[in-house]
Amino acid sequence: MEIFPGRVSNLEDCLLLETTSKHEAAPMSMGMQKTQYDMALEQFQRAADIMKLDPNVQEILRKPRRILSVNFPVKMDDGRILLYQGFRSQHNNALGPYKGGIRFHPNVTIDEVKALSMWMTWKCAVAGIPFGGAKGGVTVNPKGLSRAELEKLSRSFFSLISEIVGPFRDIPAPDVYTDSQTMAWFMDEYSKNDRNNPFAVVTGKPLIIGGSLGRDSATGRGVSVTVEEAARHLKMDLKKTTCAIQGFGNVGSYAHMFLEEAGVKVVAVSDSKGGALKKNGIWFNEVAAHKKKTGNVLSLPGSEPITNEELLELDVDILVPAALEDVITDENAGKIRAKLVAEGANGPTAPEADDILFKKGVTLIPDILANSGGVSTSYLEWVQNLQHLYWSAEEVDQRLKTIMKKAFAEVWKTSQENNVNMRTGAYIYAIGKVTEAMKIRGWV
């Protein structure tokens, strides 16, 4: 990180980048590692080819509409001034205002943010909520900052992107290493310039300032709803099934809780330190208490230690990758024994692995459907903020289930009609909706 003399940043420091060049989307050369954006484009192209999608529409949808890149100084507690870089990528807003999280992570790149913004467009379209897709991030290790430094960084970043966000323009939310406190700082920063109901500018806020009941557990609950729907179609009796969950964070832990409620026996869980296997079942309460006490899921009493790689290949009925991207690849897809995979994480499966799983008869519920419970409840929060009327947890829950069940039914139907896997089915359904909106608005 470079050290800069103290100079207060202003909006002129922002660089509005041209959207990506053709060159960036060029085919990979041999030996180069695929980026998430390459993956997103490949997934898009599979659906576009089947749909024989108008080349003009393809050209528009392959690139984010706008990317804002900002560099800004933050004064550290010890007086040093460090320069940070952040991005906001707005992919498409044909169906409504842009929507998508903001992550704080050392690995954030413009490429990652572009891919994630594109996935948000499809995710909102699949869920049938009136939003387009966006994503943002700051390249930072937030664990290395004090609370005061984190607040300064959050406020500076949000003030710089305030030019392009707003309750009816672009509505950010939490993502990796950002939370309801970050959203409170963002909202407060925005309120300095716009005092007219600023609550609706971000979702995932604390309850006291317009957050929604049920938002914390929404993504995990949505994963469970989609597993229940898939089980109904596949005639799987959930009470006789076993499950392994990778990642015991927000998504993985709530998925565990709701799947357990649905009768599934979770036999393995993991986090960044490794995993725990207990063939006769791991109760949500016992692993939550153990994680609270020790900080990880390792050495859960009565369990066998396993690696994160081994967890993916266990002999279980259901697998929920809920931690990282790119964990199911062409190297391990053939060894996956689960019949049903529900992607809690964003981008955990490489396109080649999709093909291997489909050929093996594995049903995979793609991320843009399985983990859309979070953004769907964000939509419910935004609606509550706009109408100044707040719903009970039961009401939010009921609305979320209705959204998720409809989304599942549409994706299932589209994949059956086209004889494709559920990911391509979800893309065909989402791209079809976005294209219809673009055409009727006169963009193409």
- Which residues of this protein are in contact with ligand NAD, per CB under 6 A? 175-176, 219, 246-252, 270-272, 308, 322-324, 344-346, 371, 374
Which residue number is nearest to ligand NAD in terms of Cβ?
249
For the bound state, the minimum distance from the C-beta of residue 344 to ligand NAD, rounded and expressed in Å, comes to: 6
User: Active-site residue 63, yes or no?
Assistant: no
Residues comprising the chain, all counted: 444
Closest distance between ligand NAD and the C-beta of residue 247, in Å?
A: 3
Q: Residue 322 or 328: which CB sits closer to ligand NAD?
A: 322
263 vs 34: CA distance, rounded Å = 38
User: Which residue, 53 or 118, has its beta carbon nearer to ligand NAD?
Assistant: 118
Nearer to ligand NAD, 142 or 252 (CB): 252
What's the closest the beta carbon of residue 267 comes to ligand NAD, in angstroms? Answer: 17
Catalytic residue among 99, 123, 135, 433: 135
Distance in Å, CB of 241 to ligand NAD, minimum: 22
- Toward ligand NAD, which CB reaches closer, 108 or 322? 322
Residue closer to ligand NAD (CB basis): 156 or 175: 175
SS3 for the chain is: CCECCCCCCCHHHCEEECCCCHHHHCCCCCCCCCCHHHHHHHHHHHHHHHHCCCHHHHHHHCCCCEEEEEEEEEECCCCCEEEEEEEEEEEECCCCCEEEEEEEECCCCHHHHHHHHHHHHHHHHHHCCCCEEEEEEEECCHHHCCHHHHHHHHHHHHHHHCCCCECCCEEEEECCCCCHHHHHHHHHHHHCCCCCCHHHHCCCCCHHHCCCCCHHHHHHHHHHHHHHHHHHHHCCCHHHCEEEEECCCHHHHHHHHHHHHCCCEEEEEEECCEEEECCCCCCHHHHHHHHHHHCCCCCCCCCEEECHHHHHCCCCCEEEECCCCCCECCCCHHHCCCCEEECCCCCCECHHHHHHHHHCCCEEECHHHHCCHHHHHHHHHHHHHHHCCCCCHHHHHHHHHHHHHHHHHHHHHHHHHHCCCHHHHHHHHHHHHHHHHHHHHCCC
CB nearer to ligand NAD: give 231 or 251: 251
Angle, vertex CA 113, rays to CA 108 and CA 116, nearest 5: 125
Closer Cβ to ligand NAD, 185 or 248, answer by number: 248
**Residue whose tokens read 């939490």:** 174
Q: CB of 70: closest distance to ligand NAD in angstroms?
A: 22
The distance of closest approach from Cβ of residue 441 to ligand NAD in the complex, given in angstroms and rounded to an integer, is: 28
Minimum distance from residue 151 beta carbon to ligand NAD (Å): 20
Point out the residues that are catalytic.
135
